[in-house]
């Protein structure tokens, strides 16, 4: 949600969609790590190691998101915000599954 809110705000301020995707993704990654660590998985140990794993998985998710946006935007004349809504669940589910399995395992 944080990613989408920042992305759509930046798009409305006429940022180029790749830049908007990078900035919003970065902010959402940090926000997501904090929330997942404190509330979802309630993990208090190995914070730096977990953060690095989380960032690695997020970078992979970012590239998947960027590639999907590029392919869809290039091949379809559809609003970029709508395309972000389409790609968002795929990336979120992938990242959540990987983080649950690797980053936040006990």
Provide the 10 A C-beta neighbour count for residue 39: 8
Q: What is the pLDDT of residues 37-68, one digit of tens each?
A: 899 888 889 999 999 999 999 999 999 999 99
- Two structure tokens written together for 51: 């953060």
Q: Is residue 80 a contact partner of residue 11, using CB atoms and an 8 Å limit? A: yes
DSSP letter at 47? H
Mean pLDDT taken over the chain: 93
pTM of the model: 0.86
């Amino acid at each position: 949600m944080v990613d989408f809110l920042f992305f759509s705000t930046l798009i409305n301020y006429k940022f180029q969609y790749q830049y908007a995707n990078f900035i919003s993704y970065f902010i959402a990654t940090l926000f997501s790590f904090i929330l997942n660590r404190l509330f979802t998985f309630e993990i208090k140990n190995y914070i730096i190691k977990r953060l690095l794993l989380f960032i690695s998985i997020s970078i992979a998710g970012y590239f998947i998101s960027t590639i999907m946006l590029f392919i869809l935007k290039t091949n379809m004349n559809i609003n970029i915000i709508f395309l972000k809504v389409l790609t968002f669940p795929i990336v979120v589910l992938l990242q959540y599954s990987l983080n649950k399995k690797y980053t936040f395992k006990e």
